[in-house]
Amino acid sequence: MAVTALLDLHVTPEAVAGAPALIADVLTATRAFEGNLGVEVLVDTDDAAHFMVVETWESIAHDDAYRAWRATPEGASALGSIVAGPPTLTRFEPASN
């Protein structure tokens, strides 16, 4: 069953201008990761330092594999250099009707 992962993050004030390009670069690997069905980046209309990354995965297992890879030196990204604090990850699956 598909899962939607929401990554809620705030970047530092000095990183706001360059954040969209850096996030786009980081997400190139995310989009190419096995099981990724799509990624969208949203920016808060009232706070340019607040981003929401919406990822869709084939399954929780695919998302887990991706998160595990990101925790390795090979999967590490430059995102940590611009965030103002730890991002919040929340995962959702479709509710049964």
pLDDT digits (tens, 9 = 90+) for 51-82: 999 999 999 999 999 999 999 999 999 999 99
Q: Domain range holding 71?
A: 3-86
What phi, psi does 91 have (nearest 5°)? -115, 140
Q: What is the CATH number of the domain that holds 66?
A: 3.30.70.100
Beta bridge partners of 79: none
pLDDT tens-digit readout, 6-27 = 999 999 999 999 999 999 999 9
The two structure tokens encoding residue 4: 């939607």
Report yes or no on 95 lying in a domain.
no
Within a domain: 46: yes
Residue 4: which residues within 8 A CB-CB, separation 6 or more?
54, 55, 56, 57, 91, 92, 93
Is residue 44 classed as helix, strand or coil in its secondary structure? Answer: coil
74 occurs within a structural domain: yes
Q: Which of 42, 56, 57 is nearest to 8 (CA)?
A: 42
pTM of the complete model? 0.93
